[in-house]
Chain A
Amino acid sequence: MKILVPVKRVVDYNVKVRVKSDGTGVELANVKMSMNPFDEIAVEEALRLKEAGKATEVIAVSVGPAQASETLRTALAMGADRGILVKTDTTTEPLAVAKILKGIVDEEKPDLVILGKQAIDDDCNQTGQMLAALLGWGQGTFASKVDLETGSVAVTREIDGGLQTVKLTLPAIVTTDLRLNEPRYASLPNIMKAKKKPIDEKTPETYGVDVAPRLKVLKTAEPAGRKAGVKVGSVAELVSKLKDEAGVL
């Protein structure tokens, strides 16, 4: 069985993000970009399923600018078999990405699509769910454990009250949470092998998808800075401030 893993190129999680001076977005020029960490977890999970003999092929797909091929190379270096780059310079919204992914699913016919639960740039947390709806497939989101069985997959989900396990009939959609696994580092031999792995180039038009944004970003602003605290002279003063000013007592 095939597993499809969408991977997104985002600002590296170690970079301190800065808002553009004109407030139209965040600064991306000369900023280090890498694979969305939740997507790395998705790639890792797919690779483990393949190594366990439960999957035969892992296909990574990325929707984005030409440089998103670097993100695909990372997935290939981790061990994915081939890549599909859907090239667009437009900032794509989750619904557009989900529609493109549906087009790829129709073509590739995977039994499982594993996505990160959200991307760390826009934190939308929508693509997996929208894709499930467009395909009419079952979805197991925020997975902390994935057990693949014959014809079905049991997904343990992290929910507010604890853990919930759902059983999905294949084909299905899974989105990954932080604790599902610890992604591997790419190995030097695999990085070299990845150079020979194919990346197919497509465009949104290939799948008949109009990626023009439906939403308009009005303004991007830095979160308000933290205000300086005050020193209190005594416990009595602390209690009175907590009571009267902070209102927490």
Chain B
Amino acid sequence: MHHAATTDNAYRLPDDIQEFCEVARRIVRDELLPLEQEYLASSNHAYGVKETINLKNVFGPKVVDRLTDLSKETGLWNLMVPEEHGGAGLSMLAQVAILEQFNYTPVPFPFANVPNILYFCSGPQIEKYLNPVISGEKTTCFAQTEPNAGSDPGGMMQTRAVRDGDGWVINGTKMWISMAAESDIIMVQAVTDPEKRQRGGITMFLVDRNNPGVKIEEGGIRTWLGPKPSQYVVHFDNCRVKDEDVLGEVGGGFSMGQRWLTIHDRLLRGPYALGKMQRSLDMSVEWAKQRVTFGRPIAERQAIQWKLADIHIDIEALRALTYSVAARADAGEDVRAEAALVKLVSTEWGARSVNEAIQIHGAMGEALELPLTLFYRYLRHAQIGGGTSEIQRVLIARKLLKG
């Protein structure tokens, strides 16, 4: 299969970033694409961000260990880990360029999956929570959303944490929590001051999944994101935690959560979509040249040519946007509104590009042995998960109307 070979050169990225991308592309081509059929055929893959768990769901330990070793040997494991915690110290620009390559296939490549708020860990928390997550021994999930608090978590959150002796007691229900059942540590937001709420009244707690006050509803919530559910309802029923389980400051939990969303759930949606879009385009070009109707390849039909051109336009524009916002983040700019823009554009254009690719493929496009419908479901989902498109527009408008 043709693999977009010159995408990074086209942007005149620095030599080292091009070399990183080349390593990533080779791993995708030689290690991940050969696993793709088995992955897509499996009824055990789940939507989620924790690649190692998802790999374990589908493949035996041999494959998982080989890929994990490869990830650690090449340093890719620490791609997104800051330098002071043993990471590669790569710029956001390098990270987005590399991650695009890995999103060329739905087969996940194992990376250290550290939500960046976990770097607020201090003192004994570093050994207890942060380091095991960096090394991959433990995984986390982020519990913010509730049955009645999605787009307006700060205003609507009902989960409460109340002072009790030298600790806290948490009560409430979280919903749509990705990968909760597979996580060892739940990062949960709870209201500690109902007067202040998002302005200093919400606190982030680190809760052990085996805490007797935690109950995860079995079976999870079934969605169209994969054969295996990955989103769960989590109940906190008189869940007792200690002061040392507060992440950051008491009352600092809301802004911390928003910080995580800025990079993880917004800017990184750029490469997440770009890899899928590029693959969809590459597949569509190949297919259009091969598929013959009424005596001519469909590539000769203008209706198909326009679709190919439209997908390519979306890719080029999104890539330019993503790279430029990443570079601005590297320069220290506050890119919260711009990251919202990347999130909005990548998920909406991404889904529409894959949608066109499916149409070009006809019935074949719906076959589950191709990655297209899975790409579509993931990108369509991402217009809701991590903040809806509407909320992203609100964030963008807020910056425009400020001052």
Contact of B19 among A14, A30, A77 (CB under 8 A): A77
Alpha-carbon distance between A160 and B93 when the two chains are bound, in angstroms: 51
Report yes or no: A189 in contact with B6, Cβ–Cβ below 8 A.
no
Contact residues, A24-45 vs B (CB, 8 A): 30, 32, 34
Which of A51-59, A131-139, A165-173, A180-188 lies on the face that meets chain B? A180-188
* Contact residues on A (Cβ < 8 Å of other chain), bracket: 20 to 34
- Count of chain B residues with Cβ under 8 Å from any Cβ of A? 20
Enumerate chain A residues within 8 angstroms of B75, measured Cβ to Cβ.
187-190
Enumerate chain A residues within 8 angstroms of B27, measured Cβ to Cβ.
185
As a 0/1 sequence over residues 1 to 34 of chain B, the CB contacts with chain A under 8 angstroms (1 = contact) are 0010110000000011001101100110100000
Contact of B16 among A34, A185, A187, A195 (CB under 8 A): A195
> Min CB distance, B237 to chain A, in Å?
44
As a 0/1 sequence over residues 351 to 389 of chain B, the CB contacts with chain A under 8 angstroms (1 = contact) are 000000000000000000000000000000000000000
Enumerate chain B residues within 8 angstroms of A186, measured Cβ to Cβ.
19, 23, 74
The answer, yes or no, to whether A127 is at the interface (CB within 8 Å) is no
Contact of A12 among B5, B79, B88 (CB under 8 A): B5
The answer, yes or no, to whether B76 is at the interface (CB within 8 Å) is yes
Alpha-carbon distance between A187 and B77 when the two chains are bound, in angstroms: 10
Report yes or no: A185 in contact with B70, Cβ–Cβ below 8 A.
yes
Given A14-B3, A14-B29, A30-B6, A188 and B79 touching (CB < 8 A)? Answer: yes
Alpha-carbon distance between A236 and B20 when the two chains are bound, in angstroms: 59
Enumerate chain A residues within 8 angstroms of B29, measured Cβ to Cβ.
14
Contact residues, A1-22 vs B (CB, 8 A): 12, 14-15
Enumerate chain B residues within 8 angstroms of A32, measured Cβ to Cβ.
5-6
The answer, yes or no, to whether A175 is at the interface (CB within 8 Å) is no
Enumerate chain B residues within 8 angstroms of A187, measured Cβ to Cβ.
23, 73-75
- How many cross-chain pairs have Cβ atoms below 8 Å apart between A and B? 48
Alpha-carbon distance between A14 and B5 when the two chains are bound, in angstroms: 10
Smallest CB gap from B89: residue in A: A192
Report yes or no: B3 in contact with A73, Cβ–Cβ below 8 A.
no
Kindly list 6 other residue pairs between chains A and B, CB separation below 8 angstroms, not including A15-B5, A188-B76, A192-B88.
A73-B15, A185-B73, A187-B74, A188-B20, A188-B90, A195-B15
Using a CB–CB cutoff of 8 Å, the interface residues on chain A facing chain B are 12, 14-15, 30, 32, 34, 70, 73-74, 77, 184-192, 194-195
Listed A/B pairs (21) with beta-carbon separation below 8 Å:
A12-B5, A14-B3, A30-B6, A32-B6, A34-B22, A70-B15, A73-B15, A184-B73, A185-B74, A187-B73, A187-B74, A188-B20, A188-B74, A188-B79, A188-B90, A189-B75, A189-B88, A190-B75, A191-B23, A194-B19, A195-B16
